[in-house]
Every structure is written in structure tokens, then in C-alpha cells.
Structure 1
Amino acid sequence: MDGQQPRTERDKALSRRTLIKAVGAGALVAGSGSALAQTPAQPPSTVTNPPRDFAPGGAPTTYFTDPDILSVDPVFDGYVQPNSAITRLWTGALWAEGPAWNAQGRYLLWSDIPNNRQMRWLEDDGHVSVFRMPSNNSNGNSFDFQGRQLSCEHLTRRVVRYELDGSVTVLAEAFEGKRLNSPNDVVPHPDGSYWFTDPPYGGQLYEGAPDIAGGPSNTAGRLNPRLGQPPGIGSVRRELPTNCYRIDPSGRVDLVVTEDQVPDPNGLCFSPDYRRLYVASTGKGPGDTGPGGKSDIYVFDVGTDNRLSNRRLFTDCVIDGVKCGPDGLRCDVNGNLWASSNAGRAVGYSGVTVWNPEGRLIGRIRLPEVCGNVCFGGPKRNRLFMAASQSLYAVYVNTQGAAPG
């Protein structure tokens, strides 16, 4: 035994206890041979030291201020609710997106894109249920000033509105006779118009349907876009660049931001006074022939005639040398921009980044998952909801969202 002494009974017992401890709440399973089975558990945080459990039933933090809410600039201290902690409200999505708050019903809905459903979280008891299925692989959602739900559908390549009587109105599905790519995010304007982005991400098998054979997202024609789809789906191909559009109250669809100005546009939102429009440019999508987006945020001035001008880079979203790719955007009443962050494998930088109106980083919220989109909600609109990869998170803040939904 190479000079080593045989293990004592005590050593064997310690070894066994160590093994059981290592697998958490695992249990010995009897069968043809004994094996260790681990009971499901909430994944530990990968960003906080000491580790924490974000789940509703997890142990509370032992801090007065949440250790994963970081003030980069002292001004952000004024927006932090000191005795509020980040909580994981639910987990179980394949890719969570498009959170939107219904003020009258006091519920949050969001999209689970690959599962082709919309989910709903009730504020009164935290109950989560399927709200709409199928959802046509919906992505971004919002509520307009009349309380009607707006949804961007990847599968049908359109923007729809759910009316108060339960009917559905198609707001946009084409521009100048050509089908849209896959509308991504939509926001209402007080003048009755709706503004939305149209990148190509719904051209993936995972989140929608690829083009027909020979189309930009199916050039080799090996993919069958009709598999698993209802009749009529999987028969079109990408025809338009990645643009942003405005749906006039009359129903007319106008081009407002071109692909040359903001490639692969994703999240968008207005400033509180509606004199600015922020648009996130994300990475290259399926079928893109150009360089695609660079994961940054642009801002435009909005004229009284709804024309945009003075395009400029708001932020490149690089923090400590890490690219914190933006997706969904929301403004608070003070004009600060709250952006979801996808930092990939750069642990500790995914979550939410907060920028003042001049484009200076003032704060960060760290999540143990990539964050796709955010919105403000709650009865006082002072709770930030974060749709992050497989889960839904929330935290109270000391400000309010500037827009409904």
C-alpha cells in the first residue's frame, strides 16, 4: 500500500459523511447497486460572497443593503431601497423575456419564448400560472395608456394588441408590402402610436421559425421550418433589414430608425418627457449579412413631428473591461436608464446596469443569471422586475418607472 496505513472505521465514516454533505440533500437509492441521488435545489449564487439563495424560501440576507446592488456613483444610493433584497420569484423558463406590469389587474406577465407561452405572476399571493399558450413565441410585451396588452410575436412576425373585450388586433405585420422579420420589443406613446424594433432573432429554431429553404436564416435549406408548427407557418423568408418602426394611430407603419443607424435593434424606451428615444443594438442575428450590432445603446432626439434626429452613442456598455450586452430598457421618472445586462460568462456582470441621462454608469444589480429584460411594476411602480434567463427576479427601488407597462 505504498507505506500508507489502512483507513480506520472513523476515517471511513468521515469519508461517507463528507460525500453526503458534498451532494447536499442527496439520498442513498436502493437498487441493483447503491447510488447517490440529489434532490433538486435552487442554484447557489455565483456572484455573492458569502453565497446566497435568491429563492422566496431562501434564507434572508444578513445585510441592511443587498450585497448585489452596487452603487458605482454615490447618486445611485438615493435610488436604492436599503432594506429590500433581490428575490427570485419563480424559475422554470427556457428563456424569459418581455416582462410587463398590468396596473389594474396587479399582475406581471412575461414571455417564455421557446416554450411558446406567456406567464403571469399574481402580486397578492405570488401564484404563477400560464397566462397564454400558444403565444406565437412572443417576445416583448407592454401595456398601452388604455391598459391593453401589446405583444411582439416571433412566429407570426407581427405586433398585436389584445383588446379589452378579448379580441386581438394585428397592428403591424409588414412594411411596404414585405413581411417583418421578428418584432422584438414595443412601447406606447401618449399620442396613441406604438414604436417597435424588428431584429431577426425569431429566425432561430429555438425562438420561432427559420426562413424557407434558401432564405437568409436557412441558406443551405437543410432546416424544415414547418416541423412542429401550425398550418401556414414556415412558408416565408426574411425580406427586410433590421429596422425600427412607428405604428401611427391611423394604422400606417413608418420607418423611424434604419439598420445603418442601429443594426439589430432590440430593446427601446422613451425618456420621461418623450423627447428622447433609446434603442439597444444587440449582436448579429440569424441571416445577417453585415457586421451586426455591437451590444451598445443609442439615443435620438424626438421631434414634434415624430422624426428622430441627432443620433449618438449613449454608452458602449463596457464596464471594467467587460461587455455588458444590453437587451431590454426602461427609464425611471428621473430619466435614468435601466438596462438588462448579458455579460455571457463574465460572472458578476450580468443583471442590470443603470445609467444617468448623460450616459454615465451610476449603479449595477448583479444576478446569477443573464438578464434579458426589465420593467417597473407594483402598485406604486417602484418594484423592478427582471426576466433573467430561466427565472423572474424582483427588487424594490427608491424611484418609479416613467411609463406604464
Structure 2
Amino acid sequence: MNDTTLSRRQALGALGAGAATVAFAGRAIAQESAGPAAPPTTITQPPRSFAPDAPPNVYFWDPDIIGVDDRFWGVMQPNAPIQRLWTGSLWAEGPAWNAVGKFLVWSDIPNNRQMRYLSEDGHVSVFRQPSNNSNGNTFDFQGRQLSCEHLTRRVVRYELDGSITVLADSFEGKPLNSPNDVVAHPDGSYFFTDPPYGGQLYEGTPDAAGGPSNPDGLLNNRVGQPAGIGTKKREMETATYRIAPDGKITRVVGEDKVPDPNGLCLSPDGKKLYIASTGKGPGDTGPGGQGKVFVGDIAEDGSVSNVKEFSDFMIDGVKCGPDGVRCDVNGNVWCSSNAGRAVGYSGATVWSADGDLLGRIRLPEICGNLTFGGPKRNRLFMAASQSLYAVYTSTQGSAPA
């Protein structure tokens, strides 16, 4: 497949920055390489329906679960079909499982809301609106929800009594760009990424006039926003941070190591940090992320070192841009895939801890993020474009949410 269509992240960067000042780095990360792309599904012609009322999938292995390495079959469930649980989002992101309440929370960023799926009967409802264009969510080891808010450029924690604590909104006196994803470490600290993706109209608000995503001030970034929103400008590089148990914030991975950091997760032992580096965002003038995942070592003091490339996410000659990341208890890395118009390569990818591709879960929509959940924590939930998908596995997620 040979296509020069821009990826979602690159397109957002152009729209936010102004045509006169921002140029794209080139072809979309999801379209860089020509190569055959499989059809969106192999079950039926026309393609299968994933809807809750769709005809049953009677195949022992769902044909959209594709093994590359025999180890893949050890973490998948042979008689479990891929299911579309719900559709109706504009861009679904940040799924997180609440083990006590037995529900899933995820973000619908453009609609400025968080949604909730109840496992008992599949009921879906609005959980929180407005959500300040929240993106990534998780629950920490005390059962408190953490959310990254594009609009307010902050990371917040919803306390058990219903109050809200602002965990981070600046670093060294400068406002954050737009926190994207957050994970809880067993030592009580949190790691979060801060790319610029919220600095545009669709998923947040552009910079104030003169900022990188609104250099000429042509965009009125206060229209439709609450009072006080729209005064900030992007002032910092993209980076990954740690919030210590005492609240101290440190930059643990800079833009020189992982530009445009997006999804992130911890290894089961909490000693490694995986970070997805996606594409250019609003206001980026450098090369930006190249659609790769990196991994670094976490020291006892929370610092991160030895950051190196984990995978370039090239599969069959197709660039499969990573976004959300989670680990299972075996140390395998599960990552959402945005293959753009390379139909058949979007969904989820599964990798060994050594970076070997084990297999893929093919979806008819681009997958933004994923997490393990369900009462046994053996169900993979995938927030994909407008819909929520799930499939049961033979393993469990290593994180609390």
C-alpha cells in the first residue's frame, strides 16, 4: 500500500500551528512504507460486524487474532471473540479499570466527557462531564482515579471523598503542555507524559496568541471555554515526569531521549518504564516523535536511565504507530496501533519483554489506548476511535488499572 495521507497526530499539529509557520516532517508515520495490507477482517465478505447484535463468531480462534510467534497463543484465549461493546465517541482514549466498582472509565476527548462501562450488564453512561478534555486515566494502588487534562494542562487525582487534588500543572514555574497519560508506581509515585497534543481546538485549546500552536493569534482560544482558560502558552519541551510521594516533580526523560511522549506503562516489577513516542504535535518545529516505543531503567530514587529503543513498530513493512501501552504479569508489552490507512494493521500489538512481536489483534478502527480489566483482570479493553472493544485473554494485566 502506498499512501501519503497525514497521520492523525501530524494533522492535528498542522491545524493547531497555523499554515504559515509549521511544516510537516514528511509522510505520515503510519504511511511511510509501501507494503501489502491485509483486509480489515477475514471472516465474512462483506467484512464482519463487531456490534453486540452481530452474528456469532463460530471460529475457534477469532480470525482477527493473528499470531506471529507461538508464544502469542499462550496469552490469548482460543474461544474468545473480539467484541465491540459500544460506539458513539468522537475519539476514545485512556481506558482504566476500577476493580472495586467493576467498571471501566475512558475519555471521549472532543466531547469533553468521561464514559463508564458497567461489567454486570454492559450499561454505558456518561461518568464525568465536563472532563476538561481528559485523555489518559488510571487508578492508583489506593483506588483513586488519576486523569490527565488537556484543557487545564494538569494531572489531577479524584480522592475517595470526592474532592480533587491537582498533582501537577507546572514544572520549574512554567505551565505543562498537555499531560497525556499517567501510571502509578508501587512506591507511591506517579509517572506522566507531557506532549503538546491538547494544544488545538478539537481536544483542548490552542496556545494564547504568540504561542507555538497559535503563533499569529488567529485562533480565538477562549471561545466556548470557561473563564480563565486560554491564557497559557507552550513554554517547555515535551518530556516525561515523575511525581514523588511527597509531591516533588522531576523531569525523568527529556525530549532528547523520547520526543512527543504519549502512552506509558511499568514492567510488572516496577523497574522499567515503557514510553510511546508518537508523531509531531501542535507547535512542534523539530522532527518530533517517529512512532516508536522506548524503555528505560527505573532506579530506587525514581530516576530513569539507559533509555533505548524497544521497537520501531514496523510490521510487514507497515508503520504501526504506537499510542497506549500496558504490560501483563508475564512482562509482555501490549500496545495500541494506529496504522492510518493501512487497513488491517490497526488495533493492538503484543510484544515480548525482549521486543519480539508475538501477535496482533486486528480492529476495524484505529486504537488509541488499552488496558486490562474485568473482575479477573484478564479482559483487554481497547478504546478505538469511536468505539470500545474487548477480548478475553489467558493472562492478566500487571497494573491495578
Scaled by the length of structure 1, the TM-score of the pair is: 0.88
Q: What residue number does 2:144 align with?
A: 148
Give the conservation status (yes or no) of the 8 Å contact 2:41–2:63: no
Give the conservation status (yes or no) of the 8 Å contact 1:216–1:287: yes
What is the aligned length? 361
Give CA deviations for 1:29-78 in whole Å, capped at 9, x if unaligned: xxxxxxxxxxxxxxxx9333422111111111120111100110011111
Q: What residue number does 1:5 align with?
A: none
Aligned residue identity for 2:100: Q
Write the mapping of 1:6-45 to structure 2, written as runs, cut at 5 A: none
Q: In the TM superposition, what is the alpha-carbon distance from 1:294 to its structure 2 partner? A: 0.1
Q: What residue number does 2:78 align with?
A: 82
Aligned residue identity for 1:183: P
Say whether residues 1:284 and 2:261 are aligned partners.
Answer: no
Say whether residues 1:248 and 2:244 are aligned partners.
Answer: yes
Write the mapping of 1:65-214 to structure 2, written as runs, cut at 5 A: 65-214=61-210
Larger Cα Rg: Structure 1 or Structure 2? 1
Give CA deviations for 1:206-233 in whole Å, capped at 9, x if unaligned: 0000001111000121100001000001
Aligned residue identity for 2:134: S
- Separation of aligned partners in 2, 1:298 and 1:46: 28
Say whether residues 1:63 and 2:67 are aligned partners.
Answer: no
Aligned residue identity for 2:63: P
Q: In the TM superposition, what is the alpha-carbon distance from 1:118 to its structure 2 partner? A: 0.1
Choose which of 378, 390, 396 in structure 1 pairs with 2:392.
Answer: 396
SS of the residue 1:196 aligns to = strand
Q: In the TM superposition, what is the alpha-carbon distance from 1:301 to its structure 2 partner? A: 1.0
Q: What residue number does 1:331 align with?
A: 327
- Separation of aligned partners in 1, 2:108 and 2:327: 23
Scaled by the length of structure 2, the TM-score of the pair is: 0.89
Q: What residue number does 2:32 align with?
A: none
Give the conservation status (yes or no) of the 8 Å contact 1:376–1:382: yes
Give the conservation status (yes or no) of the 8 Å contact 1:74–1:362: yes
Choose which of 353, 371, 387 in structure 1 pairs with 2:367.
Answer: 371
Q: What residue number does 1:267 align with?
A: 263
- Separation of aligned partners in 1, 2:301 and 2:218: 46
Give the conservation status (yes or no) of the 8 Å contact 2:40–2:362: no
Aligned residue identity for 1:376: F
- Separation of aligned partners in 1, 2:233 and 2:41: 42
Give the conservation status (yes or no) of the 8 Å contact 1:52–1:61: no
Identify which of structures 1 and 2 has the higher relative contact order when contacts are C-alpha pairs closer than 8 Å and 6+ apart. 2
Write the mapping of 1:211-360 to structure 2, written as runs, cut at 5 A: 211-360=207-356
- Separation of aligned partners in 1, 2:363 and 2:324: 15
Give the conservation status (yes or no) of the 8 Å contact 1:282–1:327: yes
- Separation of aligned partners in 2, 1:310 and 1:217: 32
Structure 1 alignment gaps of length 5 or more: 1-44
SS of the residue 1:399 aligns to = coil
- Separation of aligned partners in 2, 1:65 and 1:320: 22
- Separation of aligned partners in 1, 2:353 and 2:117: 31
Q: In the TM superposition, what is the alpha-carbon distance from 1:83 to its structure 2 partner? A: 0.8
- Separation of aligned partners in 2, 1:140 and 1:364: 23
- Separation of aligned partners in 2, 1:253 and 1:269: 18
Aligned residue identity for 2:41: V
Structure 2 alignment gaps of length 5 or more: 1-38
Give the conservation status (yes or no) of the 8 Å contact 1:194–1:247: yes
Aligned residue identity for 1:98: G
RMSD over aligned CA atoms reads 0.8
- Separation of aligned partners in 2, 1:48 and 1:120: 31
Aligned residue identity for 1:76: F
Give the conservation status (yes or no) of the 8 Å contact 1:317–1:323: yes
SS of the residue 1:339 aligns to = strand
- Separation of aligned partners in 2, 1:343 and 1:198: 23
Q: In the TM superposition, what is the alpha-carbon distance from 1:95 to its structure 2 partner? A: 0.2
Give CA deviations for 1:184-210 in whole Å, capped at 9, x if unaligned: 000001111110000000001000000
State percent identity of aligned pairs. 72
SS of the residue 1:300 aligns to = strand
Give CA deviations for 1:80-124 in whole Å, capped at 9, x if unaligned: 101110000000000000000000000001000000000000000
Give the conservation status (yes or no) of the 8 Å contact 2:193–2:240: yes
| Deviation >2 Å, runs of 4+ | 45-49
SS of the residue 1:202 aligns to = coil
SS of the residue 2:114 aligns to = strand
Q: What residue number does 2:40 align with?
A: 46
Give the conservation status (yes or no) of the 8 Å contact 2:158–2:164: yes
Aligned residue identity for 1:58: A
Q: In the TM superposition, what is the alpha-carbon distance from 1:304 to its structure 2 partner? A: 1.6
Q: In the TM superposition, what is the alpha-carbon distance from 1:310 to its structure 2 partner? A: 1.2
Give the conservation status (yes or no) of the 8 Å contact 2:151–2:198: yes
- Separation of aligned partners in 1, 2:352 and 2:181: 22
Aligned residue identity for 2:211: G
